[in-house]
Amino acid sequence: MIIAANLKTNLSRKQTSEYVAELELFIAQHSITQEVLVFPALSSLNENDGDVVIGAQNAYATVNGAFTGEIGLEHLEEFGIRTILIGHSERRHILGESQEELVVKFNYYKALGFKIVYCIGEPLEKREAGKEEMMRYIFSQYEGIDTSYENLVIAYEPVWAIGTGLTPTLQDIKEMHLDLKEKSSAPLLYGGSVKVTNAKEVLEIPNVDGILVGSAALYVEHFSTMIQYAQDISS
Ligand code: PGA
């Protein structure tokens, strides 16, 4: 399974390196064989030659250049970063990234062979508009995306469940993952208010290949517990 932590705009460089070191220790001590990804703030990116894979929360589709406030391939290569998160709901809805912009970014990092964790998910009003409307919205987030890219991971994260403590029912997640697997056979993560108290049951749902965790992953012991759940379920 893939257990991923999105640290968002949290943890300094020093805190992140302590976080990753603690995870490495946990992985070694508990013989963890799951894929563990951590997406630190861009200024906290660093090389890591252990088991934890470090990914970028964002980068511009460029090697370098005049794109104030952005980083490019050169800045990822400095730390050996080969994994990127694209389409997170906060980038779509707060930072205003359009589907067209995401596609450009996706194709750029795909051409470089990056592992891409591509996020999709509906806002509350789309969910309340009924299944058909909701699926139409979600499928529009697949437009221009190569769903058969071999290094693709998809994360289904209902926007209304992110950082709110609200989650769909286990049955809802089960149905959604079944539908989404028809769109792409890429590993499919669930994200949105996953925490120690619900991670186990979410990971047990068929077609859930892992989790993408925000707030609860800020506590390394909580995130480690979720990694252990995935390990127990997989073995
Ligand atoms: P959350 O965030 O776990 O705090 O809901 C998940 C995410 O944004 O990836």
Q: Are 106 and 145 in contact (CB under 8 A)?
A: yes
| CB of residue 223 inside a 6 A radius of ligand 1 | no
Q: What is the pLDDT of residue 166?
A: 87
H/E segment holding residue 77? helix 73-77
Structure tokens at 153: 């991971």
Q: What is the pLDDT of residue 1?
A: 98
| CB of residue 23 inside a 6 A radius of ligand 1 | no
CA distances from 44 to 54, 56, 106, 118, 159 (A): 10, 10, 22, 21, 25
Q: How many CB atoms lie within 10 A of CB 80?
A: 12
Structure tokens at 155: 């994360």
Beta bridge mates, 214: none
Q: Are 178 and 206 in contact (CB under 8 A)?
A: yes
Q: Which residue has the tokens 């079944």?
A: 178
d(CA 203, CA 168): 14
Region of 96 on the Ramachandran plot (φ > 0 left; ψ -120 to 50 alpha; else beta): left
Enclosing domain of residue 65: 2-234
| CB of residue 44 inside a 6 A radius of ligand 1 | no
DSSP, res 92: I
| CB of residue 162 inside a 6 A radius of ligand 1 | yes
For the question of residue 157 being annotated catalytic, the response is: yes
Q: What is the pLDDT of residue 125?
A: 94
- Write out the chain's pLDDT in tens, 235 residues: 999 999 999 999 999 999 999 999 999 999 999 999 999 999 999 999 999 999 999 999 999 999 999 999 999 999 999 999 999 999 999 999 999 999 999 999 999 999 999 999 999 999 999 999 999 999 999 999 999 999 999 999 999 999 898 899 999 999 999 999 999 999 999 999 999 999 999 999 999 999 999 999 999 999 999 999 999 999 8
d(CA 124, CA 119): 16
For the question of residue 77 being annotated catalytic, the response is: no
Beta bridge mates, 219: none
How many structural domains compose the chain? Answer: 1
Structure tokens at 62: 């460029």
Residue nearest to atom 2 of ligand 1 (CA): 214
d(CA 26, CA 93): 35
For position 39, which CATH number holds? 3.20.20.70
Chain centroid offset of residue 132 CA? 25
Nearest to 209 by CA among 156, 133, 138, 172: 156
Residue nearest to atom 9 of ligand 1 (CA): 214
Q: What is the pLDDT of residue 235?
A: 87
Give distance in angstroms: CA of 66 to centre of ligand 1: 31
